Structure formats: C-alpha cells, structure tokens
Amino acid sequence: MAEAASRTPCGAGEQLNNLSLNDGEDDFVDPWTVSSKSETGIDYDKLIRKFGSQKIDEELLHRFEKVTGKKAHPLLRRGIFFSHRDLQSILNLHEAGKKFYLYTGRGPSSESMHIGHMIPFMFTKWLQDTFQVPLIIQLTDDEKALWRDIKIEDARQMAFNNAKDIIAVGFDPKRTFIFNDLDFIGKCPEFYQNMVRVQKCVTFNQVKGIFGFGDGDVIGKITFPSIEAATAFSTSFPFIFENKIVPCLIPCAVDQDPYFRMTRDVAARLKLPKPSLIHSSFLPALQGVQHKMSASDPNTSIFLSDTPKQIKNKINKYAFSGGQATIEEHRQKGGNTDVDISYKYLTFFLDDDEKLEQIKKDYESGALLTGELKKIAIDTITPILQDYQTRRAKVTDDVMQEFFTLRKLEI
C-alpha cells in the first residue's frame, strides 16, 4: 500500500515537495505563518530562489508599460509586487488581443479586514481596470472552519462581511464574480468535477510534503488545496466562460504560492493552461518587519473599520521606529528606513514617488524626526480609509448579492 500511495498519478510532474520557506535560520513562510528573525524582515531574494519564481525586473516593467500603454502601478514600481510566474505569457496574450481572467481571494478570519489584506485587492482592481478583464474572487470560508476553531455558520458570516469590504475597493460588477466555498461548490458541478481531477493528480505524500500536513490533521485539510486549484481553471465556471479555456493570472501574497505551484503542475497534466502569478510582499505588523500584519491581534493591525483616532493612536503607540534613542542622536545619525514601520507603510500607500524619496532622504539624514514621520503616515492613511469607509457604507446586501449571482461576465 505504501508503494502504491507514493506513485504520481496523471503522468510525470515536477517535484512538489518543500514548497514553503523554512531555512531554519531566519525566515519562515508558508500559507499560514510568516515570520523572520532578521531585523530587516523577510529576505525576498531568498524566497525567489527557494520558490523558483522570477524577479520582476526593469525589463519586465518596461514591457508591462509598453503593452498596457500605462505607467506601472506604484506597487509594481517599488518592488512590492516583486516576483512572478509566466507574467510574460499574459502580456503576450493582451498584446495579441486575447483575453485572460484574474483570480484572487481571501480567507475570512475576522469581521473586518485590515489594510494589509487590501494590498492584493487594490492592485487587482488596477489590473482589472488596465486590462478590462473578468475577475473571480474566492472566499475560502471552508479553510478557516478547518484550520481554526470557527463554526461553519460563523465562517460563512465572516465571508459575507469580508465580501462587502472587498466590493468597497471599487471592482466592476459587470466583470467581477465573488463566491464563498461553503455555498458555491454545491451549486456548480463543473467546479467540483475539476476539484476531483486535481485530487486524482496529487498523492497524500505530495500534499504532506507541500503543506506540511501531519498525521493529526483533519482530512478536510488534505483535500482543501484542490479547491483553490480548481478556481484557476476557466472550465470550473461554465456560466462565465461557456466552457472555453481561458488562461488565468493570480495576484496574491507570496505565501500563497505553494497552492499554485501545485496547481501549475496539475494543469500541465490535465492539459489546461498553467495559471500565471504575480506575488506581493507583506505589509508588516505595527510592531516590526519580522511579522506580517495579522487580523488576530488588533494591536498589530490597522483595520479598515478603524476611526481616525484609532489609526492615530495605533501608529503613535505601536509603530516600530527606525529612529535613534534621542533627538540629538537622531539628528546626528539619522533613522533607518529599512525597519521603520511608518516609512514602510508610506511605500505601500503614498502615491507620490518624489515625495516618498524626499521623506526617505530627510529621515535617513536626521532632518525628519520619528514623530514627524509618524504624522505623515497618519495623514496619508487616514483619508484613504475615510474614503474607503464612505464606499463601504454603500455596500448593501443587495449590492453584495449582485456580485455573488451566477451569471456571465463581460469578457
């Protein structure tokens, strides 16, 4: 039996083991845990080498701008979206006048999302607007019920609340379909059929190697990766694509890459297009760059529902400083933007490149103090969230239902 279990069905595929980063020294990155012992946080160049992805370099940025006719998004220009798999093939499709679709998602684990969750969605909206393509957003409420002590009913409700958070980013309802796993899978047999096709192509030994599952894990965890994989195949959504084979681009945080390394291997064996990926780095927790922002600890995160007073208090009280111990020492030596959280947040949320560069120079020279830098971060993030909250208040149950309705999208 052990010998049979170790065989690879569906034909030969690439080696799928050890797809998380755990070097035993500094960094740990997998779909559920992100941490670093280094004072400067995750080593993303090491992550690229470990995962076998490609760095987004100046040549690719230039091609991106040439093909789209638009300046690259600040998150691209600044290397926050830093890595990819087969992004060139997506640009080739667009250049040839052919379509693809976008797929991203969210594992709902809190009533309100935080600003770190917004990064892939902000960028995905820009991609949707730039390429004018359909988007599928998956809410993995089943994952949270399996991994955490959350009742199915509560996981579903968090999915619906988070859906409203996501809709408020401003996605085009004519081109966007949102679903939660616990409700959708029973409505779409083609989706479930693709799940089973994926399940037939990955052995138990492989899924343990990829995700680190142990003998004590519930069986739902073992099969869950097939659900994320199925969303990357257009044939899972016949009501949208009419069974046409349409390639897929997945913008996501880099910790989700193991799911899609597996998916790309399976796609080749199912004779379906491998999904392309574009990876973002993590918005760090308020306490420092060693951890990503987490919804489970309110003091590490700025939530989308936070008031201006809460935003101000959290940044002033908790945002780790790269400044010196005294004003005199800071004026003399300057601050460290590699570890300063207020500056890190500005790289994500301040659009003006020249202003950001001047802030960096002033802080590193000592001309700008930590308190002044924190104020700039507060003054930058607060109006963004206030504008967002105005849009969020307009997302009713009826608006949400429009996005969840099974229907054909504009392609």
Q: What is the pLDDT of residues 250-281, one digit of tens each?
A: 999 998 999 999 999 999 999 999 999 999 99
Instruction: Name the pTM for this structure.
Output: 0.91
pLDDT digit string (tens) for 200-241? 999 999 999 999 899 999 999 999 999 999 999 999 999 999
Pick from 182, 174, 193, 331: nearest CA to 240:
174
Mean pLDDT, range 311-340, rounded to an integer: 96
pLDDT given at position 39: 75
The yes or no reply on domain 294-392 and CATH 3.40.50.300 is: no
pLDDT band at 5 (very low <50, low <70, confident <90, very high): very low
CATH architecture of 33-285: 3-Layer(aba) Sandwich (3.40)
pLDDT tens for residues 320-330? Answer: 999 999 999 99
Q: Where are the domains of the chain?
A: 33-285, 294-392
The pLDDT tens digits of the residues spanning 350-395 come to: 999 999 999 999 999 999 999 999 999 999 999 999 999 999 999 9
Q: How much is the pLDDT for 110?
A: 82
pLDDT, tens only, 107-119: 998 888 999 999 9
Burial of 280 (0-12, 13-18, 19+ CB in 10 A): buried
Question: pLDDT digits over 164-205, tens only?
Answer: 999 999 999 999 999 999 999 999 999 999 999 999 999 999
Query: What residues does 84 pair with on adjacent strands?
Result: 54, 278
Residue pair 370/321 in contact (Cβ under 8 Å)? The answer is yes
